[in-house]
Amino acid sequence: MVRTILVVGAGKSTSYLLDYFLKKSNQEKIHLKIGDLHPENIPDKFAKHPNCTVFPLDIFNEEDRKKAVAEASIVVSMLPARMHINVAHDCIEFEKHFITASYVSNELRALDEEAKKKGLVFMNEIGLDPGIDHMSAMEVIDRIRDAGGKMLLFESFAGGLVAPESDTNLWNYKFTWNPRNVVLAGQGGVAKFIQEGTYKYIPYQKLFRRTEFMDIEGYGTFEAYANRDSLKYREAYGLENALTLFRGTMRRVGFSKAWQMFVILGMTDDSYTIENSEGMSYREFVNLFLPYSPTDSVELKMRHYLKIDQDDIMWGKLLELDIFNPSKKIPLKNATPAQMLQYILEDTWTLKEDEKDMIVMYHKFGYELNGEKKQIDANVVVIGENRTYTAMSKTVGLPVAMATLQILNGKIKTPGVQIPINKEVYKPILSELHKHGIQFKEYEKPYLGYNPDSVAS
């Protein structure tokens, strides 16, 4: 009997996901149905595959959406996070398992009891970060506990970056994921975490000047700024008694200090719109945030405002973005400063067809075993193939696809709204990811605890 996998939404992160399903379609007796608002954008290699059906789907069209869910054996939502809930409600109604790579929202969490009653697996956070970070962390944490160890410290960092061979700008950065998420990173509250038993808080305006540093063998030094809420997984990971719990986002050294310029200027603000944004030049946009002067140029005002010299690398980074160009126009109507900045950055930071991205993830585990304090450092680096088959799409799409088949085949069966922190989930998926070249390297090190010298003032 042929089973139907419904994938709702087929954006940038789905190339490996769709490949995985179709390569296994004959062996697993599955038919893939892809519902997307713009089915014409789905490559022919998927659309014309004999075991695949592509069809137009507006998820706000309730009749069409419910019909698609009702006919499926299992449902994968690759929609933007805010759009999952409608599909999830349909999955409850028609008793279908549900998988997404997104964070568990409060609305989704509220479906837990109903999902359990109906024996449905609602798997979330099964992509990269969140996803591979959970699974790889729990594999080591469970191993330490199973040996009788006690966790003292857990730090976890991940970043979507540009591969060294495609790193061609002074920022050492290009967009490999949703640019909007990059521009808005860290907003909407303070970053909170715990270090050596003390709660720490970093307000947004200081976030990019408080960075940790780490070395990845073969790839050099990276920096990381704190994620908004490092404590949200404290209970899930069983780390209530750990002295340090810190999660962050990785960039190449120097990125955060440069990004702070946009924060200081107010260009990352998404809370109000610029009335005459449409048709505004890059230069005019910059001038919005600078004081008036009857004599000074925009460039001179910018240097004075940011206190940077003409030979400063920070100035070079700004010039590289061509933000003082009076000819380049922003075509966005009633746009926020953040939306306008994003448009300007995409002009420079978009991967070319043959360029490669890079995923880097780094964990630090501090623990006590038999009265001795120990430390394990673990990291993984994944390099993409090109702009379509990115490391980001690989590390997001493959775990989603693997979990889907595990659930469909009854190997993952614990019901409810969940994240992949149980052995039933992470063991088979991590094992299969190894076969695809996604495998952490571990290093035993002397226990250092939290190192305050690694934090920039």
Of residues 96 and 39, more confidently modeled: 96
* Structure-token match 């992509």, residue found: 127
Residues 381 and 360 grouped into a single domain: yes
Query: Do residues 360 and 254 share a domain?
Result: yes
pLDDT at 452: 47
- Judged against a pLDDT cut of 90, whether residue 445 lies above it is answered with no
**Average model confidence (pLDDT) for the chain?**
93
Domain count across the chain: 2
pLDDT tens, 255-301?
A: 999 999 999 999 999 999 999 999 999 999 999 999 999 999 999 99
Write out the DSSP string of 26-67: HHHTEEEEEEES-GGGS-HHHHT-TTEEEEE--TT-HHHHHH
pLDDT in tens, 92-113: 999 999 999 999 999 999 999 9
Does 79 share its domain with 177?
A: no
DSSP category for residue 352: P
Q: What is the pLDDT at residue 451?
A: 56
Same domain, 173 and 100: no
454 pLDDT more than 70? no
Q: Each residue of 334-372: pLDDT tens digit?
A: 999 999 999 999 999 999 999 999 999 999 999 999 999
DSSP, res 145: H
Is 186 within a domain? yes
Distance from C-alpha of 178 to C-alpha of 182, rounded to nearest angstrom: 7
Per-residue model confidence as pLDDT tens digits over 387-440: 889 999 999 999 999 999 999 999 999 999 999 999 999 999 999 999 999 999
pLDDT of residue 74: 97
Q: Residue 370: inside a domain, yes or no? A: yes
Do 14 and 115 sit in the same domain of this protein? yes
Longest dimension (CA), the chain: 77
Q: The tokens 């715990």 sit on which residue?
A: 194
Q: pLDDT digit string (tens) for 227-256?
A: 988 998 899 999 999 999 999 999 999 999
pLDDT band, very low/low/confident/very high, at 178 (cuts 50, 70, 90): confident
Q: How high is the pLDDT of residue 295? A: 93
Q: Residue 252: which of 202, 215, 204 has the closest Cα? A: 215
Residues 109 and 157 both lie in one domain: no
What percentage of the chain exceeds 90 in pLDDT?
89
Q: Which domain holds residue 19?
A: 3-123
Q: Tell which of 94, 123, 152 closes a domain.
A: 123
Neighbours of 453 (CB within 10 A): 6
Q: What pLDDT score was predicted for residue 450? A: 58
Question: Which tokens is 122 given?
Answer: 């609602």
Verify that 101 and 139 share a domain, yes or no: no
Instruction: Please indicate, yes or no, if residue 8 is contained in any of the structural domains.
Output: yes
pLDDT over threshold 60, residue 457: no
User: In which residue are the tokens 């501090």 written?
Assistant: 366
| pLDDT greater than 70 at residue 189 | yes
Last-in-domain residue among 123, 151, 179: 123
CATH number for position 55: 3.40.50.720
Answer with the one of 123, 158, 183 that is the final residue of a domain: 123
